[in-house]
A and B are shown apart, each in its own frame.
Chain A
Amino acid sequence: MMGKLLRAQWMPLLGAIAVAGVVLSFTNKEFGTAFNVYTILQTAAVDAVIGLSQMVVLSVGDLSLAVGGIGGLVTIAVGNLFSVQHWPIGAAIVGALLIGLVCGLLNGIIIAYTGISGFIVTLATGTAFTGISYGVTSTIPYSNVSSVLVTLGQGRVSFFPYALIVTIAATVLIGGALRFLPIGREVLAVGGNREAAVLSGLSRQRATLIAHTVSGLLAAVAAVMYVGVLQSATPATGSDWLIVSFAVPIIGGTALVGGEASASGCFVAAIVLAAINDALIVLNINTDAVELAEGLLIFAAVLAGRLGQVVLRPGQASGTRRGGGATETSGAPAATT
């Protein structure tokens, strides 16, 4: 178990960032303070869940451009249910989470049963969700946010934000589900080799549906956390989630083509991204450089993964597979399963 942890793809990344963090905390008196570490972890807490939301869909070999759209819709749902409909905060949160779940379910149903690609479907629905958010609020944020949510988003014990508890729970649950639940294995099997999975009696539709539904729920969880962090429910929430949602799982070692996922990788990657972001600000480097740094990091992560493949498995990486024989397709259009 320990050995496996050490061989994880994100381990070198974590090592590098830990060293850089220690060095920074000695050279810069602000970086190592409990408050600054709290700030980093607070950002990472939300980003990690956003990343998990995308990771689940990547696992099944699909992708979602609607993570941000769902986040925005859930945000204003929390705000509206609490401050306009005057629901108790618990009910408002549950209601908002359900909305996220239903949005994901909707994506899943359309993708699984029409065969239209997830890219197109979620591009459309994600945009529509954002449109609804702006329409409902006339672009005005709800600033009256429950103290419960503020505690969730802002509360801390020394450097440890309460929000991180939610993130850890989500990471353990999603990681565990993908590893130990039959449906989790089904999602990864379909993502890894759809044909083989279907011939083994697994269901592509079911796996796609579940992945998108869980993704919707996770996007909703991230949105609820974010309302607390921001202390305001604004329809603009989610507009900048797209890149984060891909960067976090990819840096964390999730395969873009499906079949392989790492929830713990998402967690580490989110912390790394937040720490870099924070360091650039603390060091007074132009904040515009943050995105450049993120871009380079994604590139480095992909490159590291690729290099690992080449070094560890030369045969596979250079495509020396054999066989690939012929199937009978003559005349008859290959019937899909």
Chain B
Amino acid sequence: MIAQVPSGTSVVAEQGSFAMHDMWKNFGGIAALSGAELTLQAGEIHALIGENGAGKSTMINIATGVQQPDRGTLTLKGEQVEFLRPKAAVERGVSVVHQERNLVTKFSVAENLFLGRLPVTGGLVNYRRMVAEARPWLKQVGLDIDPLTEAGRLSPGQAQLMEIAKALAQDCQVLLLDEPTSSITEGEFAHLFDILRNLRARGTSIVFVSHKLEEVYALCDRVTVLRDGRNVVTGQPLAEVSQGEIIHAMVGRNIEVLTGSARQSSHVGGVRLGLANVSTEFGHVGLNLSVHAGEIVGLYGLVGAGRTELARSLVGLAKITGGEVRIDSRLVKIRNPFDALRKHGLGYVSEDRKGEGLILQHSISRNVSITVWQRVEGLIGWLTEPRARRVVREPLARLNVKMDRLSQPVASLSGGNQQKVSAAKWIAAEAEVLIFDEPTVGIDVAAKDAMHRLLRELAEQGKAVLLISSDLREVIQLADRILIMGGFRLLGELENSGDYDAVSREVMRTITAAASGAQGSLV
């Protein structure tokens, strides 16, 4: 659909500046890589894509010395190298920026920047020099903050930039970015893209891992696609491949690419979730909103707008300090998530599936049945696996979770399948009002598609769905109405016309008009 060819590509047709050749890696008998290849040239941004489990992370781990390949060669500027430890890779100029923030939160930004190689004078850490040396690097990535700021206070976008600054400070020639945009705002990623383009112009080789093809097309020069640890596309210029072809390559089959057209709910019923003048301890004020039966309402906003905080307040994880919350026109006072689900049928699918949504070392069936213990209880309240399995099988099947058996630990599933299990839990619980918080962040195209189908199906069944998403495209595809939040207030509501350009213009206009306080912006 939007195949923007990056302008000013500066692909230098010389030998690869960094190459991973014929990579093999097994984990306990399961092949993660089976002869994968990745060749980078100086001054290019190279997209590395593939479904969850395709081997992207393993490639990154090998490139940065976190893991050793069973077989295969690494070449840096024509010279064969071996990275036995992360430090070895960093010293040769190969750095990674992880999707999960890798910083010591209690340390200052400056110290995080130089972690592992603090400036030392006479055997003691020289803090003054550390701060002075940190400044130019922070400036280079456009971070205008005091180097002594505690790193834990940075926004996700700032933390990401800080990690790039760290890589630059280590004189990095090859920079690997693992889903850098999954948790930052639109404004932040425009800035991030500018910085990456600058680095490219200076000859840095950049690997960009992302599930968002729009971003890949907007930023990258060439693409390598992995499937099951093998290359399906190897270093092809993006100008020569269509999005459809890439998706086909990733999943090995055609997926109906969701069009930009809005869904039309056939039967919108009465109000199931209604908020009147609600305020919360987070500082939300005067919130009025309603979600009807059979409706998906999108709640869009920049990071820091207060959407997750609202969801958490609604299920009782934080206090609602004023106003009225009604579920099915009954006035409710929800004290905790247990109440929310048991008494009022309100479920919250957390954005942080690893931290809050799942117990990773427990089995799939245990994870799903956690919300429905009273239904699977046998004699004198004993919980038995067979009973649990009967209840969980149906929702798991509906979401098409790929698994070997129900007793398999959730940790062994791919990210997309983990997210499906997290959602299945609430389906099994037969929640009537569901809040999905960033349900498709960091999951692959096929899993995303399954989540989207699920949301639509739930609405068809007359449930009310509040969808929190930072992916405007997703909101436009799914929502009947779009609410815009900023600075802990609702800034506006619009009917979803399905026209991406028109809606996104309207959304951005609303947000920028309200953002005199620069809520959620970068610096």
What CA separation (Å) do A88 and B441 show in the bound complex? 69
A329 touching B156, Cβ below 8 Å: no
**A291: interface (CB < 8 Å):** no
What CA separation (Å) do A323 and B438 show in the bound complex? 9
What CA separation (Å) do A38 and B303 show in the bound complex? 57
Interface residues on A, range: 35 or more
Stretch at the interface among A29-37, A104-112, A146-154, A180-188: A180-188
What CA separation (Å) do A330 and B227 show in the bound complex? 13
Stretch at the interface among B83-91, B136-144, B498-506: B83-91
Instruction: For A196, list chain B residues within 8 Å (CB).
Output: 102-104, 112, 115
B86 touching A337, Cβ below 8 Å: yes
A259 touching B106, Cβ below 8 Å: yes
**A198: interface (CB < 8 Å):** yes
A328 touching B115, Cβ below 8 Å: no
> Known contacts A181-B123, A202-B115, A331-B30: does B104 contact A192 (CB below 8 Å)?
yes
Stretch at the interface among B286-294, B413-421, B472-480: B413-421
A185 touching B441, Cβ below 8 Å: no
A199 touching B415, Cβ below 8 Å: no
> Known contacts A185-B118, A201-B86, A335-B61: does B104 contact A323 (CB below 8 Å)?
no
Query: Chain B residue with minimal CB distance to A196?
Result: B102
Binary B-proximity of A57-93 (CB < 8 A = 1, otherwise 0): 0000000000000000000000000000000000000
A193 touching B104, Cβ below 8 Å: yes
B443 touching A326, Cβ below 8 Å: yes
B86 touching A198, Cβ below 8 Å: yes
B104 touching A331, Cβ below 8 Å: no
**B271: interface (CB < 8 Å):** no
Interface centre among A179, A326, A335 (most CB of B within 10 A): A326
B124 touching A327, Cβ below 8 Å: no
Instruction: For B61, list chain A residues within 8 Å (CB).
Output: 335
Closest chain A CB from B520 CB (angstroms): 11
A window 182-218: CB within 8 A of B = 182, 185, 188-189, 192-193, 195-202
**A286: interface (CB < 8 Å):** no
Stretch at the interface among B51-59, B237-245, B456-464: B51-59
Stretch at the interface among B74-82, B346-354, B510-518: B346-354
**B120: interface (CB < 8 Å):** yes
What CA separation (Å) do A189 and B32 show in the bound complex? 31
B window 86-113: CB within 8 A of A = 86-87, 90, 96, 98-107, 111-112
Closest chain B CB from A190 CB (angstroms): 9
Instruction: For A260, list chain B residues within 8 Å (CB).
Output: 106
Stretch at the interface among A124-132, A221-229, A312-320: A312-320
Which single member of B100, B412, B419 contacts A329 (CB below 8 Å)?
B412
**B117: interface (CB < 8 Å):** yes
> Known contacts A192-B105, A333-B27: does B115 contact A197 (CB below 8 Å)?
yes
Q: Identify whether the interface residues of B are mostly helix, strand, loop, or mixed.
A: loop
What CA separation (Å) do A335 and B62 show in the bound complex? 11
Which single member of A200, A330, A337 contacts B414 (CB below 8 Å)?
A330
> Known contacts A196-B104, A322-B351: does B115 contact A332 (CB below 8 Å)?
no
What CA separation (Å) do A335 and B411 show in the bound complex? 12
Instruction: For B419, list chain A residues within 8 Å (CB).
Output: 326
Instruction: For B383, list chain A residues within 8 Å (CB).
Output: none
Query: Chain A residue with minimal CB distance to B90?
Result: A201
Query: Chain A residue with minimal CB distance to B352?
Result: A324
Which single member of B100, B104, B312 contacts A327 (CB below 8 Å)?
B100
B414 touching A328, Cβ below 8 Å: yes
**B367: interface (CB < 8 Å):** no
> Known contacts A182-B125, A259-B104, A314-B282: does B441 contact A325 (CB below 8 Å)?
yes
What CA separation (Å) do A19 and B486 show in the bound complex? 48
Closest chain A CB from B317 CB (angstroms): 8
**B183: interface (CB < 8 Å):** yes
What CA separation (Å) do A172 and B101 show in the bound complex? 33
B52 touching A189, Cβ below 8 Å: no
**A321: interface (CB < 8 Å):** yes
Instruction: For B53, list chain A residues within 8 Å (CB).
Output: 328-332
A325 touching B66, Cβ below 8 Å: no
**A334: interface (CB < 8 Å):** yes
Which single member of A195, A314, A334 contacts B411 (CB below 8 Å)?
A334
Interface centre among A192, A328, A337 (most CB of B within 10 A): A328
> Known contacts A193-B105, A195-B102, A325-B182: does B417 contact A201 (CB below 8 Å)?
no
**B355: interface (CB < 8 Å):** yes
What CA separation (Å) do A255 and B182 show in the bound complex? 31
**B116: interface (CB < 8 Å):** yes
What CA separation (Å) do A23 and B308 show in the bound complex? 50
> Known contacts A180-B124, A326-B416: does B86 contact A199 (CB below 8 Å)?
yes
Closest chain B CB from A181 CB (angstroms): 7
Which single member of B66, B99, B317 contacts A323 (CB below 8 Å)?
B99
What CA separation (Å) do A246 and B305 show in the bound complex? 41
A202 touching B116, Cβ below 8 Å: yes
Instruction: For B105, list chain A residues within 8 Å (CB).
Output: 192-193, 259
A window 283-337: CB within 8 A of B = 313-314, 316, 318-335, 337
What CA separation (Å) do A130 and B30 show in the bound complex? 47
A322 touching B86, Cβ below 8 Å: no
Closest chain A CB from B446 CB (angstroms): 12
Instruction: For A189, list chain B residues within 8 Å (CB).
Output: 104, 107, 115
Could you list 16 A-B pairs, sorted by A, with CB under 8 Å?
A185-B118, A193-B103, A196-B102, A196-B115, A200-B115, A200-B116, A201-B117, A318-B318, A320-B308, A323-B441, A324-B183, A325-B415, A326-B414, A326-B418, A328-B57, A328-B415
- Supplied contacts A192-B105, A326-B414, A333-B28, 7 more A-B pairs, CB within 8 Å: A188-B104, A196-B104, A202-B116, A313-B153, A326-B52, A326-B353, A327-B57
| The 5 A-B residue pairs with the shortest CB-CB distance in the complex, in nearest-first order | A326-B415, A323-B183, A330-B414, A330-B53, A201-B87
B-contacting residues of A (Cβ < 8 Å)?
Answer: 179-182, 185, 188-189, 192-193, 195-202, 255, 259-260, 313-314, 316, 318-335, 337
